[in-house]
Amino acid sequence: MKTIGMIGGMSWESSAVYYQIINRQMKEILGGSHSARSLMYSVDFAEIAEFQHAGNWTRLEKMMIDAAQKLEAGGADFIVFCTNTMHLLAAQIARSINIPFLHIADATGAAIQKANLKRVGLLRTKFTMEQDFLKKRLLVDFEIETIIPDETEREKIHSIIYNELVNGEIRGDSRKIYLDVIENLGLRGAEGIILGCTEIPLLVSAHDTDAILFDTTQIHAETASEFVLN
């Protein structure tokens, strides 16, 4: 069994979900009381969010590289970011370590491809909806087109993530906003919806909509569990 190195704390709410999914998956695969061998380096999210909104990605890169290298030195066999947004720095992190980096876009792309979908809507933080690092990877490696909400919708999605979800605050009116955005993306041709922020599934699930949802947290964590054994 390989040891997972998890960079978490962004936020701790979603990191806890990663930990639960991975260990439940290991128990399901192996049976009995099995769980995953894992290490987690958890950061102070208040500090991370401050640097994100200030656009100080150079400082964030140094922090993430430091976390990844400490996990490698501690015995991790591969690295998982328990977050979507910080995959903006995935290439830099992967170059800084000598162990594999399990990218969330690859796990998500494989799941969408398996469902035979070609065009999906994307809900994420504003940082990542307006960048092409995920969209380009899905298009080039999986031939999947992504569409994003309009500017007003992006602002609402981002605000709810940072002002509510990362603090564990779940509000019905915010869920309604997300469901309206999902409906609008469907009208624009989205065959499915990527829940591309690790906090969004805390608010919206398959119980709330008929849209086909791709929960990147669930997909990424389950892929990490399979990677442990392969």
List 82, 83, 85, 125, catalytic entry: 83
Exposure string over 42-72, b if 16+ CB within 10 A, otherwise e: ebebeebeeebeeeebeebbebbbebbbebb
For the chain, the residue count is 230
**Token pair 């890169």: residue:** 61
Active site residue 216: no
Active site residue 83: yes
List 125, 197, 198, 216, catalytic entry: 197
Q: Count Cβ atoms below 10 Å from residue 187 Cβ, excluding itself.
A: 7
Q: Please, is 173 exposed, middle or buried when counting C-beta atoms within 10 Å of its C-beta (0-12, 13-18, 19+)?
A: exposed
φ, ψ of residue 5 in degrees (nearest 5): -105, 115
Find out whether 87 and 133 touch, Cβ atoms under 8 Å.
yes
Alpha-carbon Rg of the chain, whole angstroms?
A: 17
* Catalytic residue ranges: 83, 197
